[in-house]
Amino acid sequence: MFLRHLSLVNYKNFDSKDLEFDPVINCLVGDNGVGKTNILDAIYHLCFGKSYFNPVSTQNIKHDTEFFVVDGEFEKEGRSEKIICSFKKGTKKVIKRNGKPYEKFSEHIGFLPLVIISPADRDLILEGSDTRRKFMDGVISQSDKAYLNNLIKYNKVLTQRNSLLKYFVANHTFEKGTLSIYNEQLHALGSEIHKKRLEFISSFIPIFKEQYEHISDKEEQIMLSYESQLDEGSLLDLLEANIDKDRALQYTSVGIHKDDLNFTIAEHPIKKFGSQGQQKSFLIALKLAQFHFIKEQASTTPILLLDDIFDKLDENRVSHIVGLVKNDNFGQIFISDTHAERTENVVKNIHQSYKIFTL
């Protein structure tokens, strides 16, 4: 699968832009702030229906304009697939595949698998558990529609249960029966999600460790583990046991929406005890593992976006990544960098098919 053509109108700093891509390697080079990352984000938009960097759609519209259009022509399994993602202020975003609008954006997820490696990934280490859950959900959802649908349903029921808890307090009332209906629904959906996350993590860990060893060139005691309140007991029991607490808090304090991934080095949190280099290697290994996992599960090679990667790693680590790319059929890659010469020297050694775009 590859992206043949990209066309932008009023997307971030571009009023209009047309790019014809190479099926293998594409390098976007130019000074800081010229829009290299914005082009990668537009490609991300076509695959996920949203920006990787800025979830607020209106902020992806070029300043002082009213709408944006991102239009892409992909080739997948020998067929041309035209995806258009457009958004006008005050209206709903529209995503069309070959002229037909999607009713639910979730139907589009996984159709065009993509993995992005970006400096913004540091949030996975630094930020709260929701960032790591989103990562895990993103990896599983790209190849498992049932998982994504269960997750959407779970979040809907969770919102309803939280509204009910607020309603009880506002109206000085309590109905255990209504709450029990939500508890059972959350239990059914949450247990399925928990099972899938457990399965996912056990197949993901070996891939991740292999990638880390490739990148860091050292044997370091790094580990990734999944933590869930559901390891302690059934969600139904947990919800029942925490009713008084939830009534006081006015939200649901137990469930798979509290799950987390622990990232450790020598059994200590990498956030506090990992060097900058170790943290970067950890993140890149996570993303490369995501790439390999999706490739295996979805039997399509994801598009790989490498944002500023060569700028953030020492030469040793860069050469390992280049080696990985060279030794594997990586499909289509997009690389952004400020140094044209350095980028060209690197990609020349990966493949003879490449294109450099100077912005």
Ligand X SMILES: Nc1ncnc2c1ncn2[C@@H]1O[C@H](COP(=O)(O)OP(=O)(O)OP(=O)(O)O)[C@@H](O)[C@H]1O
Q: Say if residues 38 and 13 touch (Cβ distance below 8 Å).
A: yes
Rounded-to-integer distance, Cα 23 and Cα 130, Å: 35
* Coil, strand or helix at 16: strand
Q: Which C-beta is closer to ligand X: that of 212 or that of 334?
A: 334
Residues 86-125 interacting with ligand X (rule: CB under 6 A): none
Binding track, positions 148-187, relative to ligand X; x by CB under 6 A: ----------------------------------------
CB of 68 to ligand X, least distance (A): 8
Among 2, 13, 223, 250, binds ligand X (CB under 6 A): 13
Interface segment toward ligand X; rule CB under 6 A; list 28-36, 213-221, 240-248, 280-288: 28-36
Q: Say if residues 278 and 221 touch (Cβ distance below 8 Å).
A: no
Q: Which C-beta is closer to ligand X: that of 19 or that of 238?
A: 19
Q: Is 178 annotated as a binding residue?
A: no
CB of 112 to ligand X, least distance (A): 21
Torsion of CA 74, 79, 80, 86, to 10 degrees: -70
Interface segment toward ligand X; rule CB under 6 A; list 53-61, 212-220, 259-267, 291-299: 53-61
Angle at 128 between CA 275 and CA 259, to 5 degrees: 110
Rounded-to-integer distance, Cα 222 and Cα 110, Å: 29
Rounded-to-integer distance, Cα 104 and Cα 92, Å: 12
* Coil, strand or helix at 255: coil
How many chain residues interact with ligand X (CB under 6 A)? 18
Task: Establish if 67 lies at the interface with ligand X (CB under 6 A).
Answer: no
Binding track, positions 249-288, relative to ligand X; x by CB under 6 A: ----------------------------------------
Task: Establish if 50 lies at the interface with ligand X (CB under 6 A).
Answer: no
* Coil, strand or helix at 82: strand
CB of 243 to ligand X, least distance (A): 45
Amino acid identity for residue 215 in this structure: I
Q: Quick one: tokens of 100?
A: 């037909």
Q: Quick one: tokens of 110?
A: 């996984």
* Coil, strand or helix at 43: helix
CB of 287 to ligand X, least distance (A): 17
CB of 305 to ligand X, least distance (A): 12
Among 144, 285, 308, 312, binds ligand X (CB under 6 A): 308
Among 16, 59, 275, 345, binds ligand X (CB under 6 A): 59
Task: Establish if 34 lies at the interface with ligand X (CB under 6 A).
Answer: yes
Binding track, positions 313-342, relative to ligand X; x by CB under 6 A: -----------------------x-x----
Q: Say if residues 142 and 294 touch (Cβ distance below 8 Å).
A: yes
Match 């589009």 to its residue by tokens: 108
DSSP 150-165: HHHHHHHHHHHHHHHH
DSSP classification of residue 119: G
Q: Say if residues 335 and 28 touch (Cβ distance below 8 Å).
A: yes
Among 4, 5, 17, 62, binds ligand X (CB under 6 A): 62
Which residue ranges make up the annotated binding site for ATP? 30-37
Give the footprint of ligand X on this chain (CB under 6 A). Answer: 12-13, 30, 32-38, 59-63, 308, 336, 338
Which residue ranges make up the annotated binding site? 30-37
